[in-house]
Amino acid sequence: MIMLLFALSTYAADVTLTHKGIATKDGKVVYIEQHEALFRDGEVVTSKTTYTAPDGKPEATLTSDFKNSITNADHEFHDLRDNRHYGVRWTNGKAVMWDKEEGEKERTEKIDKDFADGKLVIGGQGLHYYMRTRLAEFAKKDTAIAILIPGKLDWYSFLVTPAGEDKGLKKFVIKAQSAFLRLFAPQLEVWYADDGKLMRYRGLSNLPDAKGGNQQVEIKYEYP
């Protein structure tokens, strides 16, 4: 999911930044995220996240290009375990969700610009990259968002709610507006430092477990 990763404070010109996230479940490390992003004048341009098993074996990659949209990037998630690909593709100024399983034809779903009724449209890691420089705005009020789920060619409404300070970090809770969806993803929680670094995440992982199912994780981020 949600996907909600990668941050640093505002920088001038072009700079490439790296850091990692350690994902745990029931106190056990389940995977490690290696992040690399190119920033230009403080805003993200491209990013790549590599997911590896605890033994170092690559499991998936997520590549993003933000030239068309910060919140809804052109992105591709590639699960190396079953060779499945899905994401959002921008063509001629229009976004399309797509999903391609091994040996199957690609499935697509066009994204109408008015489908979300004014909600902030989120794809891939877009929410994080948008929030990182706008924490003060998000801390003032609830924000309605529509998160695209290209692996299901669908989208769901969520509400980002400020939850005050927690051990010096700004905390936000992200809840699905659908009672049915809350059965699978009760809520997501993120913690940010004042300079825009994402320090901690708790909730549904965007990396499926070994059987292809959903998994709840907690991720703590480490920066050079």
Residues whose CB falls within 8 Å of the CB of residue 69, separated by 6 or more in sequence, listed in order: 90, 95, 121, 123, 126
Report the DSSP pairing between strands 43-52 and 188-192. unpaired
Phi first, then psi: give them for residue 105, nearest 5 degrees. -75, 150
Token duo for residue 40: 């230009």
pLDDT for the residue numbered 156: 87
pLDDT for the residue numbered 184: 66
Phi first, then psi: give them for residue 200, nearest 5 degrees. -160, 145
- Where does the chain show beta strands of DSSP type E? 14-25, 28-40, 43-52, 58-65, 74-79, 84-91, 94-100, 107-110, 120-122, 143-149, 154-166, 169-176, 188-192, 198-204, 216-222
Q: Residue 164 to residues 31, 49, 161, 218: CA-CA distances in angstroms?
A: 29, 29, 9, 19
Separation of alpha carbons 5 and 38, rounded Å: 14
pLDDT for the residue numbered 125: 93
Residues whose CB falls within 8 Å of the CB of residue 106, separated by 6 or more in sequence, listed in order: 98, 99, 100
For the chain, give the number of residues.
Answer: 224
Alpha-carbon Rg for the chain in angstroms: 16
pLDDT for the residue numbered 185: 64
User: pTM of this prediction?
Assistant: 0.87
Q: Could you say which residues of the chain have pLDDT below 50?
A: 1-11
Separation of alpha carbons 76 and 86, rounded Å: 6
pLDDT for the residue numbered 12: 52
pLDDT for the residue numbered 140: 95
